[in-house]
Structure 1
Amino acid sequence: MRVIGLMSGTSIDAIDAVGADIQLRDGTIHVEVAGQLSRAYPESLRAELIAALPPGRVELATVCRLDTAIGQEFAAVADAAAREIFGGTADLVASHGQTVYHWVSGGKAYGTLQLGQPAWIAERTGLPVVSDFRSRDIAAGGQGAPLVALFDLLWLAGRPGRSAALNIGGIANATVTGAHPVAFDTGPGNALIDAAVESATGGAEHFDRDGERAARGTVDERLLKTLLTEGYYRASPPKTTGKELFNRAYLERVLPDYPLSTDDIVATMTALTSHTVADALAPFEPDEVIVSGGGTRNPALLGMLGERLGKATLCTSDELGLPSSAKEAAAFAVLGFLTVHGLAGSHAECTGATRATVLGSITPGAARLTLPEAPDAPPRRLEVVSRARG
Structure 2
Amino acid sequence: MRVIGLMSGTSYDAIDAAAADLCLDGDTLTLKPLGLVSEPYDDALRKSLAAALPPATTTLAEVCRLDTRIGQAFAAAALHANGRLCDGRAELVASHGQTVYHWADRGTVHGTLQIGQPAWIAETTGLPVVADFRPRDIAAGGQGAPLVSLVDLLLLRGRPGTPVALNLGGIANLTAPDGTAFDTGPASALIDAAVRDFTGGRLPYDVDGALAARGSVHEPLLARLLDEPYYAQPAPRTTGKELFHAGYLRDALAGFPGLRPEDVVATLTRLAARTVADAVRTVRATEVIASGGGTRNPVLMGMLGDELGGVPVRTSDVLGLPSAAKEAYAFAVLGFLTVHGLPGTCPTSTGARHASLLGSVTPGHRGFPGGLPSGGGAERGPVRMVCEPGVLRG
Alpha-carbon distance between aligned partners in 2 of 1:285 and 1:31, rounded to the nearest angstrom? 29
Aligned pairs for 1:1-390 (under 5 A) are 1-177=1-177, 180-258=178-256, 259-371=258-370, 377-387=380-390, 388-389=392-393
- Tell me which amino acid in the other structure corresponds to 1:283: T
Q: CA shift at 1:254, angstroms?
A: 1.8
Structure 1 SS opposite 2:388:
strand
Structure 1 SS opposite 2:254:
helix
Tell whether the 8 Å contact from 2:185 to 2:272 is kept in structure 1 after alignment.
yes
Moved over 6 A (4+): none
Alpha-carbon distance between aligned partners in 2 of 1:66 and 1:378, rounded to the nearest angstrom? 35
Q: CA shift at 1:389, angstroms?
A: 4.5
Aligned residues: 388
Structure 1 SS opposite 2:74:
helix
Q: CA shift at 1:312, angstroms?
A: 1.3
Question: Residue by residue, what CA displacement relative to the aligned partner does 1:229-263 show, whole Å, maximum 9, x if unpaired?
Answer: 00000001000000000000000112131121110
- Tell me which amino acid in the other structure corresponds to 2:213: A
Q: CA shift at 1:211, angstroms?
A: 0.3
Alpha-carbon distance between aligned partners in 2 of 1:221 and 1:389, rounded to the nearest angstrom? 44
Q: CA shift at 1:290, angstroms?
A: 0.8
- Tell me which amino acid in the other structure corresponds to 2:123: E
State the percentage of identical aligned residues.
59
Alpha-carbon distance between aligned partners in 1 of 2:297 and 2:356, rounded to the nearest angstrom? 36
Tell whether the 8 Å contact from 2:85 to 2:393 is kept in structure 1 after alignment.
no
Question: Residue by residue, what CA displacement relative to the aligned partner does 1:197-220 show, whole Å, maximum 9, x if unpaired?
Answer: 011111111100000110110000
Tell whether the 8 Å contact from 1:322 to 1:386 is kept in structure 2 after alignment.
no
Alpha-carbon distance between aligned partners in 1 of 2:232 and 2:370, rounded to the nearest angstrom? 44
- Tell me which amino acid in the other structure corresponds to 1:65: R
Alpha-carbon distance between aligned partners in 1 of 2:309 and 2:384, rounded to the nearest angstrom? 29
- Tell me which amino acid in the other structure corresponds to 1:121: I
Tell whether the 8 Å contact from 1:171 to 1:242 is kept in structure 2 after alignment.
yes
Question: Residue by residue, what CA displacement relative to the aligned partner does 1:1-55 show, whole Å, maximum 9, x if unpaired?
Answer: 0100000000111000111000000210000011111010001100110111110
Tell whether the 8 Å contact from 2:84 to 2:393 is kept in structure 1 after alignment.
no
Alpha-carbon distance between aligned partners in 2 of 1:129 and 1:323, rounded to the nearest angstrom? 23
Structure 1 SS opposite 2:24:
strand
Tell whether the 8 Å contact from 1:74 to 1:121 is kept in structure 2 after alignment.
yes
- Tell me which amino acid in the other structure corresponds to 2:233: A
Return the TM-score normalized by structure 1. 0.98
Alpha-carbon distance between aligned partners in 2 of 1:150 and 1:48, rounded to the nearest angstrom? 33
Tell whether the 8 Å contact from 2:133 to 2:360 is kept in structure 1 after alignment.
yes
Q: CA shift at 1:370, angstroms?
A: 3.6
- Tell me which amino acid in the other structure corresponds to 2:228: E
Q: CA shift at 1:191, angstroms?
A: 0.3
Question: Residue by residue, what CA displacement relative to the aligned partner does 1:150-171 show, whole Å, maximum 9, x if unpaired?
Answer: 1000111010011110000000
Alpha-carbon distance between aligned partners in 2 of 1:284 and 1:89, rounded to the nearest angstrom? 42
Alpha-carbon distance between aligned partners in 1 of 2:55 and 2:64, rounded to the nearest angstrom? 19
Tell whether the 8 Å contact from 2:179 to 2:346 is kept in structure 1 after alignment.
no
Alpha-carbon distance between aligned partners in 2 of 1:110 and 1:218, rounded to the nearest angstrom? 40
- Tell me which amino acid in the other structure corresponds to 1:307: D
Return the TM-score normalized by structure 2. 0.97
Alpha-carbon distance between aligned partners in 1 of 2:209 and 2:49, rounded to the nearest angstrom? 25
Question: Residue by residue, what CA displacement relative to the aligned partner does 1:281-308 show, whole Å, maximum 9, x if unpaired?
Answer: 1111101001100001100000000011
CA RMSD of aligned residues (A): 1.1
Question: Residue by residue, what CA displacement relative to the aligned partner does 1:306-347 show, whole Å, maximum 9, x if unpaired?
Answer: 011123111111122111111000000000000010100000
Question: Residue by residue, what CA displacement relative to the aligned partner does 1:135-187 show, whole Å, maximum 9, x if unpaired?
Answer: 0000000000000011000111010011110000000001011xx32000000
Structure 2 SS opposite 1:257:
coil
